[in-house]
Structure 1
C-alpha cells in the first residue's frame, strides 16, 4: 500500500508540473497563481503545497528537469578520458536543439529566461540560477576544448579560452534569435550545422593562441 501511495504522489507531482507548463505558456509566470495551476491539474491547492512550497519552488523543479535531462551527455563530454570530446559535444548540442523544438517544458523554461516582459521575483530566481549554470557551462566548455587539444582533435596552438568565448556566444545567440524570430532560424536542422562549422574552424587551429 505504501508503495502505491508513493507512486500516486509522484504521479500527482508530474501532473502538477505538466499543468504548470501549460498555464505558464498561456498566461505567463507573473499572471499565474498556484490556484490556476491546481485547477489545470485537477487537484486541490493543498496538493500543490504538499509538493511545492511556492511558485518559485515549482519553477526550480521544472528547471531541474531540463538540467537533469542533459546531465549525462554534459558530463560525458567533459570527462578527461573521453576519446571524442568534440563528438560528444556535437551530440549534446544536437539533442539540445531538437529538444528546443519538441519539448514544451524546455521551450517554456527558455521563454521565461528570454521574456523581459514577464519579470517577477519568481522568474528572477530562475534567471539567477541560469546565470550560475551558464558559468558552470562556460568552465565545462573550456575543459572539453582543452581535452580536444590533448586528443589531437584541435591543433596545439589553439586558444582554448577564446574558442570557449566564441562557441559560448554563438550558441547563446542562436538560441536567443530562435526564440525572438523562429521563422528565421531552423534551430533543429541549422543548429547542429552551425556547431559543425565552428568545429571545422577549431580543427583548422582558429582562433590561434596569442604569442606573448
Structure 2
C-alpha cells in the first residue's frame, strides 16, 4: 500500500510537470497560474501545493527534468576525462546537440527559456542559480581542457579558460539558434559542426 501511494504521488507530480511545461510553452510563464496548472493536470490546487510551494519551484522542476541529463553527461566526463579528453569533449558536444534536436521535452523547455523568459521577481533565485550552474559548467569544461593541454592535444598558446568560453559559446549558440528557428537538420549536422569547431581548437 505504501509503495502504491508513493507511485501515485510520483504519477501526480509528473502530471503536474507535464501540464506546467505545456502551459509555460504555449501560454507563457507569467500568464500561467497554479489554478491553470491544476486544471490542466486534472487535480486540485491542494495537490499542487502538496508537491510544490509555488510556481517558481514548479518551473525549476520542469527545467531540471529536461536539462539534468546534459548536466550528468558533463559531470561524468569532468570526473574522468580519460586518455582522449579533447575527443571525448567533442563527442559529448555532439551528443548534447543531437539530444536537443531529438528530445521533445528538452526542446520544449529550451523554447521556454530562449523565447523571452517572462517570469518575474519570484524567479530571481532560480535565475541566479542558473548563472552559477553556467559558470560551473564552464569550469568543468576548463578542467577537461586542462587535461587535454597536459596530453598535448591543444597548442601551447591556447589557454584552457579561453577555450572553455569558446566551447560553451559554440554549443550554447547552436542550441539557441536551432531552437529559435529549427530551419536546418541539427541532428544530422551535429557531428560535422563539432568536428569543424574542435579541429579549429586543435590547430589553434
After TM superposition, is the score higher than 0.5? yes
1:197 corresponds to: 196
Stretches of structure 2 lacking an aligned partner (at least 5 in a row): none
2:110 corresponds to: 110
Counterparts in 2 of 1:34-183, with a 5 A limit?
Answer: 34-80=34-80, 82-116=82-116, 118-183=118-183
Shift of 1:32: 0.7
Report how many residues are paired: 204
Q: Check the 8 A contact 2:138/2:168 in 1, yes or no.
A: yes
The one of the two structures with greater contact order (alpha-carbon pairs below 8 A, sep at least 6) is 2
Deviations 1:27-71, CA, capped at 9 Å, x for gaps: 011111111111111111111110000100111112222343123
Of 1-10 and 166-175, more deviation after overlay is shown by: 166-175
The runs of at least 4 aligned residues of structure 1 exceeding 6 Å deviation read: none
Q: Check the 8 A contact 1:98/1:188 in 2, yes or no.
A: yes
Scaled by the length of structure 2, the TM-score of the pair is 0.88
Shift of 1:165: 2.0
Which structure has the highest helix share of the two? 2
RMSD, aligned CA? 2.1
Partners of 2:104 and 2:126 in 1: CA distance: 17
Shift of 1:81: 5.5
2:24 match: secondary structure:
helix
Stretches of structure 1 lacking an aligned partner (at least 5 in a row): 207-212
Q: Check the 8 A contact 1:101/1:188 in 2, yes or no.
A: yes
Deviations 1:83-103, CA, capped at 9 Å, x for gaps: 222233233222322232233
